[in-house]
Structure 1
Amino acid sequence: MVDRTSPQLREHVLFRGSEALAAGMVSRRALRSDRFRRLFRDVYTWSTVPVTHELRARAAAMALPRGVVITGRSAAAVRGAAICWPEDPVHVAVPLGMRVDRRTGLLVRRSDLTRDEFAPWEAGLLASPLRMCLDLLVGRPLPDAVADLDQVLRRRLVDRQALTAMLRNRSDNGIVVARQAEALAIGCSDSVPESQMRVHLVLAGLEPVPQHWIEVGGERIALVDLAFPERKLAVEYDGAWRNNEMWALNHDRTRLNQVQAAGWRVVFVTAQLLRTPTEMTNQIQSALAGRPATRIMEP
């Protein structure tokens, strides 16, 4: 027996399973087959459709009651900030008094929202840039909050002065850390891990220069994540999350050789090392002091 689907269903990237069944667009057997992927309760997509975080946010908006707002990291991802992996929880704001069942794949923040803090989007609501940033910053570890805000500012998704003023006038739980995160954000980091590295080093009392060009004879030879120019020490993230692959020293041996020949040393921070920030900081402090440290690439 061959299960058939209506040609009309192919016009929809996302659809409610219950509605498609009721309209005779798909059989129950076909809906349960590997031709479709369920993203949230009663919300499906075709198995051939690439699943992005934005797609999952759209699916969440369809699955949740009217009034729930896509916000925080998810709203930033929808607007183009590269801060979420596809499988990351969708961040939503649920008005106080509204009941939303616990669902896998959601990160829920309960809070009252004013009418100017969201707007219609797809099948639901999307937080305004200021509300998006508030939910992105509040209640999160400082390095993570700064890293995400760096990407938001880099893409000019929010007005910096308006954000500073808004945070100054709020009294939410966690607002003090949110203000610290805003003060530490610089908006020029190439990736989330780069920002996280910078914040850990700043909190340790160091002053790395982000996105520093190393020059030899007046010619730019490499753009490094972080640098201590006076000590000719560069710090590079060595992991999968890389926006500027063209200049990644860990993938360009010729450029790395040029950097080392110019008298620079490079500390490569792996994803595993970044998860132990004290060890990472100690290694970089050792390198600055001229002591050998692991993951330093010598000429």
Structure 2
Amino acid sequence: MTKPFDSSHLPDVFRGSVARKAGLITASQLRGSSVRRLFQDVYTRADTEVTHELRCRGAALLAPPEAVLTGRSAATVQGVELAKPLDPVEMVVPEKQRFGPIVGIKVRRTEIKPEESRPWNGIRIARKTRTAVDLLLRLSPRKSGWVRRLRIGVPDLDQYMRANRLSDLHLNPEFYGRRNRGIRLARNALRLSDPRAESPPESEVRVVLAAGGIAAIPQVEVFSREGHFIARLDLGDKEHKVAIEYDGQWHNTPKQRAYDRKRRRRAEAEGWRFVIVTAEDLVNDFKGIVEAVWRARRGAVSPLTVPRPGQEGVRMARV
């Protein structure tokens, strides 16, 4: 009986060709169950947890020294987990550099200044301000509509700005001092971004409302006439006293529903009206969300359903 191959002497990520040349593993063992392939000629031990950071280090083994890890990949390595483990590793290389295509690695060729990155695992990683720019430049202008792209980019930027305590004052020079392809969309996203947002869906709702001509402020605090704190709203239109709240699945527990009812009743007593947006609404009813808020602005207060053929609409309700 053949003894199983012991891979414990191997690094957690390695080039197969290099390990073979060093006599650490054979070609047949590379095809066995003791190792797992991450990219062409890049492997990890089977007992190693595959994270996005691990895959970034694996991609660095293939990339030229001038390559810069950026976008969601750089953000994740920096501690803001915007990329899932198996998402493509995002890199930029100088325009004249030839690298790729490689399955699992997304490469853009564009200008990047030396001061915009620092050394990392044999390549380079974008500094925070450049990472913020590339979170938006990564969205191809050729794909889908501008609102859809903003609904992807703004939540990423909101989370990244929040985690790194960045403001538009930090980022304006980066966004307005370059001519990269897609920079106009990136500037629009920066204008819409707000680090006060506490979840990606809340950011998406804000983008949808902005596209419909409605400005909403994240995390609005409501106080009683006597000055007592009552509630904090996901999004608020202070002028018209309209609250827009996203109810994800975590709101479906009896305890959370009871808490939401009490909180919203207290805010209603101070003249606020609520539009409640669900995950289904956010995916399927762009127009319905905007219409519901405009109705609330005009003073509608009774429960209603915004027409949407074959589906339940956005709820605007007194709760």
TM range (shorter): 0.7 to 0.9
> What's the C-alpha RMSD, in Å, of the aligned pairs?
2.9
C-alpha distance in 1 between matches for 2:75 and 2:33: 31
C-alpha distance in 1 between matches for 2:280 and 2:86: 18
Contact 2:289 2:314 in 1 (8 A): no
C-alpha distance in 2 between matches for 1:8 and 1:157: 41
Q: Secondary structure at the match of 1:96?
A: coil
* Residue 3 of structure 1: aligned partner: 4
**Larger Cα-atom Rg:** 2
Task: Return the offset for 1:110.
Answer: 0.6
Q: Secondary structure at the match of 1:186?
A: coil
C-alpha distance in 1 between matches for 2:36 and 2:229: 48
TM (norm. structure 1) is 0.82
* Residue 254 of structure 1: aligned partner: 258
C-alpha distance in 2 between matches for 1:45 and 1:221: 52
Q: Which of 135, 143, 163 matches 1:155? A: 163
Compared with structure 1, are the counterparts of its residues 271 and 104 closer, same or farther at alpha carbon in structure 2 (3 Å cutoff)?
A: farther
1:66-145 matched pairs, under 5 angstroms: 66-138=65-137, 140=139, 141-145=149-153
Contact 1:194 1:237 in 2 (8 A): no
1:282 aligns with 2:291: yes
Gaps of at least 5 residues in structure 2 are 140-148, 306-312
Superposed CA offset, 1:210-256 (max 9, x none): 123566897767644323465453421525xxxxxxxx534412312
Task: Return the offset for 1:202.
Answer: 1.6
Amino acid at match of 1:235: E
Superposed CA offset, 1:178-200 (max 9, x none): 22222221111112222121111
Task: Return the offset for 1:286.
Answer: 4.6
Task: Return the offset for 1:271.
Answer: 5.4
Contact 1:83 1:192 in 2 (8 A): no
C-alpha distance in 2 between matches for 1:16 and 1:195: 40
Q: Percent identity?
A: 32
Q: Which of 227, 235, 246 matches 1:236? A: 246
1:179-190 matched pairs, under 5 angstroms: 179-190=187-198
C-alpha distance in 1 between matches for 2:63 and 2:241: 54
Superposed CA offset, 1:256-293 (max 9, x none): 23134434645132156336533433344455553613
* Residue 235 of structure 2: aligned partner: 226
Moved more, 131-140 or 36-45: 131-140
* Residue 33 of structure 1: aligned partner: 32
Compared with structure 1, are the counterparts of its residues 298 and 48 closer, same or farther at alpha carbon in structure 2 (3 Å cutoff)?
A: farther
